[in-house]
Structure 1
Amino acid sequence: MLQLGQIDRADDKPPYRQIAGMLREAINSGQLTAGERVPSEAALSEHFGVARMTVRQAVQELRSEGLVVSEHGRGVFVRPAPPIRRLASDRFARRHRAEGKAAFTVEAEKSGYTPQVDNIAVTRETPNSAVAERLRLSEGDEVVVRSRRYLADGRPVETAVSYIPAAFARDTKIEQVDTGPGGIYARLEEAGHTLARFTEEVGARMPTPEERRVLQLAAGVPVLTVVRTAFDTDDVAVEVCDTVKAAPAYLLEYGFSAR
């Protein structure tokens, strides 16, 4: 049973923030679990002895933090679903490609989700200066651009855009919508570019309006950005991938050596 304290009228902190703090603690401690309905405005208003508007402000604060979501006609619920665990040291292991699985498929399945990819588009373009620099391309060189959206149990969690030098993608399924088992990296290795290492730059920010629409994000929910560059055994950059992830959907894990 949910146990909530009372507002301290002598506290300088506004009542709605005190209420938000107690609800936040209930979520973080597991008193309110993922997918569970938060007590109604009426119930919280009666418990704390405050106006409904005060309760509404408290819930809005939690909503802006991405802790709860509102469902029209049903109420407010603790954000469902644990995050997809993204283990950097394992996600590009060659054994996954040998099994015909791309990285997202492996991650989603390990986290208990059914993976799906949609909104796939493939074009040829002249890259911007940042991508060209990462891929060490000369002026006028083209890239194959592959954009897509990833879903877990039907819920959008990530968008990704890959840039592959056109010279490496030519006459491969990289230029087709369906790249085949193992994805882009399997096709690159088949073309003689054995992968050796990756670099990633991770950031966080608020989403653009278009990102909010595509990822179906509530107001105030941030995104994680990961820009990855893949290198082959000759230290040639063979792909740049720019991803935008719904922050509450992911847990990023990296391993480091102690040397």
Structure 2
Amino acid sequence: MQGEPTSEYKKIRQYVHGLIFQSNGQSVQIPTILELAKKFGVCRQTVSKAMKELTAEGYVIGRKGIGTFTNPAKFMEHQAGERFPVIGIFFRDGHGTHLSTYDAHVAAALLKRISLLPAIVQLATAEGTTPEQIKSAVKSRNFDAIVWEQPDEKRLEALQLFTAETGTPVVTTGEVYDGFPGVAINLEKAGYDCAKLLIAEGRKHPVFMGNYGPWLRQVKGFRRAYEEAGIPLNDKLFLKHQNLDALRNIIELGVPVDAIFNHPNLLRNEIFHLMQEMHIDVENECRLICNSLAASVNPEFRGYVYQIDFDQVAEAVVQMLQSAMNEKKTEMVHKWVNFNVIKQL
């Protein structure tokens, strides 16, 4: 048997739920216990446990001498007599059930907007260690379409196999990828716009916190604005990680610093509090920049805020889903959502 029993047990429940929502109000026969055990690579006891609970909860109905069937009444509870598409939303490696602040905001916006299609929406997981296993796990869920936030290389390969085999629409968020329509936030433009504001204030010595990963696009835009203005930057002030001790050392050594671009993951405004501790005037002496999530947890924050429009991301995703599901074809469109930068005093 592959995987943990609890995990495999959940897969069987999810598979049956998928059959119910795909049935369009009809009662469809479920494979036998032996067939399900073979399909999911589990023992018959695991299948029996799942089926007994599904029967007790009214999701399936046993017909003596014939087999086990989905219960149309459960379909009617959710669909009100009309079959809505079922959309699965996955995050990153497809395993996670715990969402970061950023991912939770993405999920909330997607759940709210996609449900108004109307559709049934599920925050889903897809287990497996190989692209083929992940593909099979996704396929067994019988989704009408999928939204995936920042899939890694293994998940991308699985999605390529999945779409080639099923034709089911897949839209990515957070990043855009060849072969899939997708929506991403324009990090490069955010970096550029923030830098232009600093340049307009005459600030020539910025520190950039988070010079790595996807935030390198912000770095690129940030540097481009200063290059266009003919202002050289101190490369030593582009810190690879969110290292407050390194920032403190830079300031204590007397290195000129007149602005700090705060990495989005520093949601507790550690930099703001460090400036207060070191008696640095953040309104005039050293301008701070952070994203709207970080600023929202600190009403005292002063500086520039680049606002993340999660609703605009969700709206773009819905447009792509509608196009793919209505026209029965997927256009490989990539859309970038811009930030709105404001000064918060």
TM > 0.5: no
Query: Normalized per residue, which structure has more helix?
Result: 2
Tell me which of the two structures has the higher relative contact order, counting C-alpha pairs closer than 8 angstroms and 6 or more residues apart: 1
TM-score by length of structure 2 reads 0.26
Determine which structure has the larger strand proportion and give its number.
1
For the pair shown, the structure with the greater C-alpha radius of gyration is 2
